Amino acid sequence: MSDTPDTVVLVHGLWMTPRSWEHWVAHYRAEGLTVLAPAYPGFEVEVEALRADPDVIARLTVPETVDHLADTIKSLDRPPVIMGHSFGGLLTQLLLARGLGAAGVAIDSAPTEGVRVTPLSQARSLFPALRNPANRHRAVAFTPEEFHYAFTNTLTAEESRAVWDRYAIAAPGHWVWEYGLFANFKPGAQETWVDYRADRAPLLFIAGEKDHIMPPAVNRSNAKHYDRSPAVTEVYEFPGRDHWTCGAPGWEAVADHALEWALRHAVA
């Protein structure tokens, strides 16, 4: 049996569902790969159902999400390539830290614990969730205008509204508060901590020059934390691309670069 990965696992981020990967699933399957896009626990229903009843979003935890994704990966015959977008990039790092995957790609990744870079555009993007402490216990949605600034700032307002209509859901406010604000100030390891010195599968960070919510500086700082790891860690920045890089025009270049790098660096 070949050691080359035959499966790609795509992990969605916050304010999104597996639907956000629909183009990538078809693209990679056309390459002959098996492609899985698992939902977070309870997110198996469609976007419209989660909008109508977001209670499952508000109650979700990071540990149960990582366990759920890990169980999916462990059920495979050989280690897959793991790719995650935004908070899915953070989850990808947590999965690699568990010894899972043959290679990982973190796209516009949310930072793991210890990354303290917070550009102004990121603070502005997350403000709708952070402006009210009561949001810690709610599912928090972006308005179309807030979504345009945070996710789709290189698109027109009309184009952004079409993306919001098809893909956007609420996010667990607890995650935004806990991992976007508090984790770096609490003593001891929190739920998004990784051992930056440990060995693991190769990891590529892909950043977008125009990304407001997870700017390149955040991705570069996250990658630099792995300097003492013996594992391969690289960063690649796409010019002119925003946080919606996996769906905006030209997404094929991002998908092809991610797959080519992952298969070239994959370990058995």
Q: What is the secondary structure of 7-44 as a DSSP string? A: EEEEE--TT--GGGGHHHHHHHHTTT-EEE-PPPTT--
pLDDT value, residue 177:
85
- The pTM for the full model equals 0.95
**pLDDT of 2:** 66
Amino acid at 268: A
DSSP character for 40? P
Helix (H) or strand (E) holding 221: helix 216-224
210 contact partners, CB below 8 Å, separation of at least 6:
153, 154, 240, 241, 242
- How much helix, strand and coil, in percent to the nearest 5, is found in the chain? 45, 15, 45
pLDDT at residue 1 is higher than 70:
no
Report the interhelical angle of 251-265 vs 22-29 (nearest 10°). 50
Provide CB contacts within 8 A for 78, sequence distance 6+: 1, 3, 5, 6, 7, 102
What is the chain's alpha carbon radius of gyration, rounded to the nearest angstrom? 17
- Banded model confidence at residue 189, pLDDT cuts 50, 70, 90: confident
Q: Is residue 187 over pLDDT 70? A: no
**pLDDT averaged over every residue in the chain:** 94
- 116 confidence band (pLDDT: 50, 70, 90): confident
- Residue 154, pLDDT > 60, answer yes
Contacts of 32 (CB under 8 A, 6+ apart): none
pLDDT at 3: 78
Six token digits for residue 33: 């790969």
**Element of type H or E holding 69:** helix 62-74
Phi, psi at 32, each rounded to 5°:
90, 10
pLDDT at 188: 72
Q: For position 179, what pLDDT does the model report?
A: 77
What is the separation, in whole angstroms, between the first and last Cα of the chain?
11
